[in-house]
Amino acid sequence: MSLKFRGVDFIGFDALLTDDELLVRDTSRKFIEDNLIPIIEECNRAGRFPRELVKPMADLGFFGASLKGYGCAGMSNVEYGLVMQEMERGDSGVRSFVSVQSALVMYPIYAFGSDEQKQTWLPALQSGEKLGCFGLTEPDFGSNPGGMRTRARKVGKEYVLNGEKMWITSGSIANVAVIWAKVEDEDNKIRGFLVETDRPGFKAEDIHGKWSLRASVTSGLSMQDVHIPESNLLPKSGGLKSPLMCLNQARYGIAWGALGAAMSCYDCALQYSILRKQFHDKPIASHQLVQEKLTWMINEITKAQLLVLQVGRLKDKDKAGAQHISMAKRNNVWMALECARKSRDILGANGVADEYPLMRHMMNLESVKTYEGTHDIHTLIIGQSVTGIDAF
């Protein structure tokens, strides 16, 4: 049965949004409905990133949406969040692509780049003419990126990079990689570098066999004596704080995105439960146990909407702390994963079929729970914030 998404608003949440925010949300919703929903199950089955959507997404201003200048849309953080919500209602993998391009590639160039780097890269990344990736995680350093082994050595007017990065979204389709490395000549200080991916010694190999984010490209990167000009150093980057600042941007988008996945799951299960009849020709929605699951979902979605909207409003005033963003990422991804599981349950056997989006969302959200700081790492970030004690 074909179930069309109707939106989720239990307590008049939309009234908290401005006309501009609603316009951005509705434009993104229509784009996803017309362009992504019809192809996403095929992409998921085939493990294919829908590259044909890059240009139309760029044309709508989805890349670097909250940045100003360089052809970027200059959206507020709440507007950007609503784009992410709709993207991930479609698919977490496509939202991941947009997150990486925007928050993890364009943002560091915007925040830490030279004028020349900004002029060279930002318009091309905004228009989708060039794609980017962000290399922080390594095979032996995930939650603890400060231990990274990738090194940059200054030789004359060049840097020479050596190291491995692992689990890198868009790695093999990127034209430029933002690589975080320890600079040997600066007491192993972590700094960011722009590495064009066609440089000799740079290799990207896709990770196959993923049960999650199948519509997103994930790669391992290896750099063996990759020479880059000194002008490829992001001059204002310095210390682990710099990549963590990028993660704040991406985690914020994920908190909205996960909400979109949860809304997709809830609305699908709600519609199905009213149409599906079992026992005495009654809809399964008439059973208390099914209602309990639907109530849990709408309750948690509503709380998650309010949480992420408040964090967005704080971010628009430049007052959102990393701990606030951690709370929104941690809560909303956990909540979305629970919604995916409960809604899958409500659909019975149909819940495991890809005629419905539930199992795909569930599998995707397992990655979303792990990347950008695992659920437990965000627990510790919040714990550190309230106690003042580092428990990492």
User: Cα–Cα distance between 113 and 297 in angstroms, integer?
Assistant: 42
Annotation says 164 is catalytic: no
Q: Which string of DSSP letters, residue by residue, matches 259-294?
A: HHHHHHHHHHHHHHHHH-B-STT-BGGGSHHHHHHH
CB 76 within 8 A of CB 196: no
Binder among 27, 114, 143, 162 for ligand TGC (CB under 6 A):
143
The binding track of 310-339 with respect to ligand TGC, each residue x by CB under 6 A or -, is ------------x-----------------
Q: Which stretch binds ligand TGC (CB under 6 A): 44-52, 110-118, 226-234, 239-247?
A: 239-247
- Residue 370 as a binder of ligand FAD (CB under 6 A): the answer is yes
- Residue 367 as a binder of ligand FAD (CB under 6 A): the answer is yes
56 binds, among ligand TGC, ligand FAD, none (CB under 5 to 8 A by kind): none
89 membership: H or E segment, kind and range: helix 77-90
User: Cα–Cα distance between 236 and 350 in angstroms, integer?
Assistant: 52
- Residue 222 as a binder of ligand FAD (CB under 6 A): the answer is no
100 vs 122 by CB, closer to ligand FAD? 100
Interactions with ligand FAD, residue window 75-104 (CB under 6 A): 100
168 binds, among ligand FAD, ligand TGC, none (CB under 5 to 8 A by kind): ligand FAD
134 vs 272 by CB, closer to ligand FAD? 134
- Residue 134 as a binder of ligand FAD (CB under 6 A): the answer is yes
Q: Which of 302-337 are b and which e, b meaning 16 or more Cβ less than 10 Å from the residue's Cβ?
A: eebbebbbebbeebbeeebebebbbbbbbbbbbbbb
Binder among 181, 213, 259, 285 for ligand FAD (CB under 6 A):
213
User: Cα–Cα distance between 298 and 280 in angstroms, integer?
Assistant: 27
User: Cα–Cα distance between 167 and 335 in angstroms, integer?
Assistant: 24
Least distance in angstroms from the C-beta of 140 to ligand FAD: 8
Least distance in angstroms from the C-beta of 97 to ligand TGC: 7
Interactions with ligand TGC, residue window 107-136 (CB under 6 A): 134, 136
SS3 content of the chain, % helix, strand, coil (to 5): 55, 15, 30
User: Cα–Cα distance between 359 and 345 in angstroms, integer?
Assistant: 10
- Residue 47 as a binder of ligand FAD (CB under 6 A): the answer is no
In the set 86, 88, 138, 372, the catalytic residue is 372
Q: Which string of DSSP letters, residue by residue, matches 13-62?
A: GGGGS-HHHHHHHHHHHHHIIIIIHHHHHHHHHHT---GGGHHHHHHTT-
- Residue 249 as a binder of ligand FAD (CB under 6 A): the answer is no
User: Cα–Cα distance between 125 and 109 in angstroms, integer?
Assistant: 10
- Residue 143 as a binder of ligand FAD (CB under 6 A): the answer is yes
Catalytic site positions? 372
Which residues bind to ligand FAD, rule: CB under 6 A?
100, 134-137, 142-143, 167-169, 213, 218, 367, 370-372, 374, 376-377, 380, 392
